[in-house]
A and B are shown apart, each in its own frame.
Chain A
Amino acid sequence: MKILVADDSKLARLSLMKIVKELEPSCEVIEADNGQIAIEKFQENSPSIVFLDLTMPIIDGYEALTQILEINPKAQVVVVTADIQSQAQAQVMALGAKMVIPKPISSEKMQTVLQQLVF
């Protein structure tokens, strides 16, 4: 299974990758530190799940989400954001995200996400 983690923060990427690896050691994790690279890596790798931050340079998460869903309308994109306002979450769900989860993501939450979207 391949997972794409797109976040401009190294801390956020490493934290998320560490949790994924603990839960699914065989999982291949691909990193992107901006929205443009996220779109390119999505096209190259067709990951099972994309974890996408919203505030990223070059192309932000909203635009990256839109473009990823244009490439593959069935893409499973989970938005991981510090903006925990319900209106912000509703906005990305309306754009087609499968889930919105608040930062920082916990191991328990990640397990739920993987169970719901992959297994």
Chain B
Amino acid sequence: MKLIEFSGDHLDVLRELMNIAVGNATASIADLLKAFGTMHIPKITISDITGLKQYIQDTIPSENSHYVTKQLFGGPLGGEFIFVITDESAINLGNHLYDIDAPNDADIYDAVIELTNILSATMISRLTEELNVKVQFFVPSTQIIKGNDLIDLDEAQGYVQVIIISTQMEFQNQNINGHIFILTKDAMIQSLKDLIDQKLEELYA
């Protein structure tokens, strides 16, 4: 299968649109937490599946346990939204959202899912709005993973090429820090490229 190439202009458009999307998401979470968050510029990487595993291992510390929430989205643009937060940050999140000292496991799961829903809805919706398409979100699922082996090889089978959009959500005063990955693959990469081409045509018209 021929790999799809993105030009500098394609990457610039994607980075800028994601920058806007991350700005919106940070503001939404800041409202939820009544706190100020640090925005991190999204990194865009095009890789094969081995590169994805390596990227995640380089980004996520191996010594922690993590709440990993995955949510699929589909439509003219499809992919997977992954939110990764350490167990310590997840407890702080539950603590902060429910205003209780020792949130139970159900509260923590609920808080992580809620945060992921807001993040994915805000970021993906903002991105797709800019690209003039609509997507459908599927129910997210959360699991606790020890270390940083977040990608299941069975899940990854058949992936030829992956676009990794990664950023960080950081609320320093609340000690809440999470990583966000948006993965899109194969045919959807071509869809994304086509949508960006349309955006560029509008710009140069």
Chain A contacts to B: CB under 8 angstroms? 9-12, 14-15, 18, 55, 81-85, 87-88, 102-104
Contacts and interface: CB of A to CB of B under 8 A. Distances in A.
A18 B17 CA distance: 17
B24 A11 contact: no
Contacts of A18: 203
B16 A11 contact: yes
Most buried by A among B16, B17, B22, B203: B16
Nearest to A54: B39
Contacts of A15: 203
Contacts of A11: 9, 12-13, 16-17, 199, 203
Contact of B36 (A9, A14, A87, A103): A87
A98 to B, nearest CB: 20
Interface residues of B, number: 22
Nearest to B203: A14
B96 interface: no
A12 B41 CA distance: 15
Interface in B179-205: 199, 203-204
B23 A84 contact: yes
Given A11-B17, A81-B23, A102-B23, 12 more contacts: A9-B12, A9-B15, A10-B9, A11-B203, A14-B203, A14-B204, A18-B203, A82-B23, A82-B39, A84-B24, A103-B20, A104-B130
B15 A85 contact: no
A98 B122 CA distance: 28
B202 to A, nearest CB: 9
B37 interface: yes
A81 B26 CA distance: 13
A12 B12 CA distance: 9
